[in-house]
């Protein structure tokens, strides 16, 4: 510390202003805890708001409008092809992000949370130094690490070229490449690939495993894969990228796999092979905080690290790397710090892939149940049995629920279809309440709606017949 430098004090220091960080800050402040949040970027919101969830879903909404217009032909409605105005699209995306960021700043003022710009590094278990801001040192009673995650780079393969981008670069929407290679068949790659395909790019996806969306229930992934096979130029599975070369006007990409070309050129390459926890360069070695081999901060069920004064939440604290999981963890950590006897239960964290169709699930998947030797009974409702699905021309959906065969308690729920991300909360609530098939079946679902298929699946578990 520089001689004469002042040390600011706070009861709770939160490092990171993403969904986990700001939710923890607002919750802690609501408990009357003096709270300071340190964020390296000028605005709160983190990756999710600025270069992740929100801008990607904004662009996906635009793609959805294009798909709806094209699909309206089956209703007898014929629209002219859309005229894409990239500048206006970027402006709308920025307007959405700026509006939400402004709302977070207002919340800071409302709850009396102090905002400090800069990068925090732990000196020890009570102090951090701040670089890049007006405050240079903070003494805290307790701290929460909420530093999120960063995209994984293909070391030794990825090259330094403006034509090779990660998800952040793809969301800038600088242009619409004629050809786009997406490396990685996970949800981020497929979401962004869907956006660029709708805008007119010829999209090729390569995935090193045997299927798209590794880890997702194959019954749920199947309708999406079938649709993407029509929309994308190519989908290459069990294929690795072994190198890239920067050409004058394109990127030459080298492949390894059965029945794939050894090389092919693309106007743009999107590297989307996952994310890693942002736990490096935080000075954690100066504390008792420990990280595992993958860089995740180790925590207990109250989100405490091995250092009793320091908590960790969100992506940096382990999978699943989802914003809503971070938000919930932030609230739990704040409650624990406020003295409440509460713990974080990971059994019912929903996941959503915002493609078209969407995929959403919570609890156990059938693959997990088999791997863990858990007894289950599965009930499926194909959406051609849904009057609502038929009326909107979207019979490609599926509702799938796993039940305990003895108690009929819900073990997991999976959905695929338009906007199922809005429906999965019923499954999450059912699991939180330890609901049974009877509880769901006797819950009156409005008719005609897609949510009826959830009730139908539960009714089928009771021996009834589904279909509306």
Per residue in 256-308, pLDDT (tens digit) is 998 889 999 999 999 999 999 999 999 999 999 999 999 999 999 999 999 99
For 63, the token pair is 């793609």
DSSP labels, 397-462: -EEEEEE-TTT-BEEEEEEEETTGGGTTHHHHHHHHTT-BHHHHHTSPPPSS-TTHHHHHHHHHHT
Q: Interior CA angle at 351 toward 350 and 352, to 5°?
A: 125
What Cα–Cα distance (Å) separates residue 397 from each residue in 222, 229, 407, 452? Answer: 10, 16, 28, 13
Cα–Cα dist 179/192, whole Å: 14
pLDDT at 6: 82
The rounded mean pLDDT for the chain is 95
Cα–Cα dist 412/427, whole Å: 7
Ramachandran bin of 213, using left for φ above 0, alpha for ψ from -120 to 50, beta for the remaining angles: left
H or E stretch including 227?
A: helix 218-231
Q: Give the homologous superfamily in CATH for domain 164-273.
A: FAD/NAD(P)-binding domain (3.50.50.60)
pLDDT at 467: 54
What Cα–Cα distance (Å) separates residue 312 from each residue in 14, 82, 137? Answer: 9, 46, 20
Report the Cα 186 to chain-centroid distance in Å: 11
pLDDT at 247: 86
Q: Give the homologous superfamily in CATH for domain 8-151+277-346.
A: FAD/NAD(P)-binding domain (3.50.50.60)
Q: Name the β-bridge partners of 15.
A: 38, 145
Question: Mean pLDDT across the stretch 366-394?
Answer: 96
pLDDT band at 2 (very low <50, low <70, confident <90, very high): very low
DSSP labels, 359-404: EEEEE--HHHHHHTT---EEEEEEGGG-HHHHHTT-TT-EEEEEE-
| Residue of higher predicted confidence among 67 and 2 | 67
Are the folds of 8-151+277-346 and 357-461 the same?
A: no
Instruction: Pick the closest to residue 196 from 164, 246, 161, 232 (CA basis).
Output: 232
Q: How far apart are the first and last CA of the chain?
A: 70
Cα–Cα dist 184/209, whole Å: 9
Cα–Cα dist 31/16, whole Å: 20
Structural domain spans, the chain: 8-151+277-346, 164-273, 357-461
Q: Is the pLDDT of residue 465 over 80?
A: no
pLDDT band at 346 (very low <50, low <70, confident <90, very high): confident
- Burial status of residue 126 (CB atoms within 10 A of its CB: 0-12, 13-18, 19 or more): middle
3-state class of 64 per DSSP?
helix
Q: Is the pLDDT of residue 65 over 90?
A: yes
Give the tens place of pLDDT for each residue, 213-255.
999 999 999 999 999 999 999 999 999 999 999 988 899 999 9
Which one is the CATH code of 357-461: 3.40.50.300, 3.40.605.10, 3.30.390.30, 2.60.40.10?
3.30.390.30
Cα–Cα dist 167/30, whole Å: 35
What is the chain's alpha carbon radius of gyration, rounded to the nearest angstrom? 24
Question: Mean pLDDT across the stretch 369-377?
Answer: 97
Helices 187-199 + 53-71 axis angle, to 10: 50
Q: Name the β-bridge partners of 248.
A: none
Would the pTM of this model clear 0.85, i.e. be above it? yes
Enzyme catalytic residues: 447
For 232, the token pair is 């994308």
Give the tens place of pLDDT for each residue, 407-437.
999 999 999 999 999 999 999 999 999 999 9
pLDDT at 317: 97
For 423, the token pair is 């429906």
For 77, the token pair is 């409605």
pLDDT at 5: 64
CB atoms within 10 A of CB 373: 6
């Amino acid at each position: 510390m520089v001689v004469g430098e002042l040390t600011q004090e706070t009861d709770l220091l939160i490092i990171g202003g993403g969904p986990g960080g700001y939710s923890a800050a607002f919750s802690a402040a609501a408990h009357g805890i003096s709270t300071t949040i340190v964020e390296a970027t000028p605005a709160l919101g983190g990756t999710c708001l600025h270069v992740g969830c929100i801008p990607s879903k904004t662009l996906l909404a635009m793609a959805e409008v294009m798909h709806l217009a094209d699909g309206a032909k089956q209703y007898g409605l014929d629209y002219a092809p859309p005229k894409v105005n990239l500048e206006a699209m970027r402006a709308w995306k920025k307007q959405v992000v700026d509006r939400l960021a402004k709302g977070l700043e207002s919340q800071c003022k409302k709850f009396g949370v102090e905002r400090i710009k800069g990068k925090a590094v732990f000196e020890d278990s009570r102090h951090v130094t701040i670089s890049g801001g007006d405050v240079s040192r903070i003494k805290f009673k307790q701290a929460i690490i909420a530093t999120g995650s960063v995209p994984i780079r293909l070391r030794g393969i990825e090259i330094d070229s403006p034509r090779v981008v990660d998800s952040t670069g793809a969301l800038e929407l600088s242009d619409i490449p004629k050809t786009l290679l997406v490396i990685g068949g996970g949800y981020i790659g497929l979401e962004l690939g869907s956006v660029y395909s709708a805008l007119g790019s010829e999209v090729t996806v390569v995935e090193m495993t045997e299927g798209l969306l590794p880890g997702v229930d194959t019954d749920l992934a199947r309708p999406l894969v079938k649709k993407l096979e029509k929309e994308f130029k190519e989908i290459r599975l069990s294929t690795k990228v072994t190198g890239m070369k920067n050409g004058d006007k394109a990127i030459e990409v080298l492949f390894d796999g059965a029945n794939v070309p050894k090389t092919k050129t693309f106007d743009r390459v999107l590297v989307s092979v996952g994310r890693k926890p942002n736990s490096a360069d935080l000075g954690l070695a100066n504390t008792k905080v420990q990280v595992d081999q993958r860089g995740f901060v180790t925590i207990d069920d109250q989100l405490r690290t091995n250092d009793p004064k320091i908590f960790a939440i969100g992506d940096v604290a382990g999978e699943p790397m989802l914003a809503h999981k971070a938000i919930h963890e932030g609230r739990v950590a704040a409650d624990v710090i406020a003295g409440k006897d509460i713990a974080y239960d990971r059994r019912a964290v929903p996941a959503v892939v915002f493609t078209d169709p969407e995929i959403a699930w919570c609890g156990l998947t059938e693959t997990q149940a088999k791997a863990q030797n858990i007894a289950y009974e599965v009930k499926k409702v194909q959406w051609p049995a849904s009057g609502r699905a038929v009326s909107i021309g979207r019979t490609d959906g599926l509702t799938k629920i796993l039940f305990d065969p003895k108690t009929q308690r819900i073990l997991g729920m999976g959905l695929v279809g338009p906007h199922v991300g809005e429906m999965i909360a019923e499954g999450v609530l059912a699991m939180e309440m330890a609901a049974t098939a009877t509880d769901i079946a006797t819950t009156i679902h409005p008719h005609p709606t897609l949510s009826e298929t959830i009730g139908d699946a539960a009714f089928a578990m009771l021996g009834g017949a589904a279909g509306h």
